[in-house]
Amino acid sequence: MEHLTVEAPKTKEPWKMTQSEFIEAQKESSERAGLKLDKGTELTKKFLSYQQEYHKEWVLTALKDGKFVPKRVLKDYPDLVELSTEHLT
């Protein structure tokens, strides 16, 4: 799978954004850089899939590092909720 690398948005830490907020910020950043993301194209599908995985990695890393991840972000990743509670005990 071809990877599209775009720096994480500077406005908010990625693990403090919901998945949809993160993807929207990445999309806006990519479009400012000249990447055209038309609905339904293969490029757009790959971009969205990669950004979903990329965001989850940000959240997972933050949890492993003991950083606070808001509940509204964890709603996107029920499988990571247990990991977050391990850091609270």
Per-residue pLDDT tens for 4-62? Answer: 666 654 578 999 999 999 999 999 999 899 988 888 899 999 999 999 999 999 999 99
Q: What is the pLDDT of residue 39?
A: 87
What are 65's two structure tokens?
Answer: 């590092």
Is the whole-model pTM more than 0.85?
A: no
83 located within any domain: yes
Mean pLDDT of all residues in 56-76: 94
CB 6 within 8 A of CB 30: yes
Domain membership of residue 58 (yes or no) is yes
Q: What is the pLDDT of residue 88?
A: 47
* Whole-number Cα distances in Å, 59 to 17, 29, 53, 75, 84: 9, 20, 10, 11, 10
Residue 88 lies in a domain: yes
pLDDT of residue 89: 41
Domain count, the chain: 1
Query: Quick check: is 15 in a domain?
Result: no
Whether residue 76 has pLDDT greater than 70: yes
Does 54 fall in a domain?
Answer: yes
Q: Is residue 74 part of a domain?
A: yes
With respect to residue 19, please indicate whether it lies within any of the assigned structural domains.
Answer: no
> What pLDDT, on a 0 to 100 scale, did the predictor assign at position 70?
94
Both structure tokens of 85: 């509670």
**Residue 68 structural domain:** 40-89
List of E strands, the chain: none
Note whether residue 59 is domain-resident.
yes
